[in-house]
Amino acid sequence: MTQNLLSLTLSDEDVAAVNAALSDLESRLTGLLALDNAARRQITKMGDNVMTQHFLHRSGR
């Protein structure tokens, strides 16, 4: 059984502010690249273990 735990009503002004913020983010992040599936498969994945090892190495443990 699903239960709706969220009720949110946005005014037209709120929607306009959110859209303006998204447009601003898009314009500021133009340097990001969209990778195709083949490129994504070839990059190194950084899971939790990689980040833990990096943190431990940097903290001298």
Among candidates 4, 24, 20, which has minimal Cα distance to 12? 20
Higher pLDDT, 43 or 9: 9
| Residue 32 and residue 25 in contact, taking contact as beta carbons nearer than 8 Å | no
Mean pLDDT of 41-59: 72
Q: What is the pLDDT of residue 23?
A: 96
Q: Which residue has the higher pLDDT, 16 or 35?
A: 16
* Tokens found for residue 35: 């990778």
Task: Check pLDDT > 60 for residue 43.
Answer: yes
State how far Cα 10 lies from the chain centre.
Answer: 23
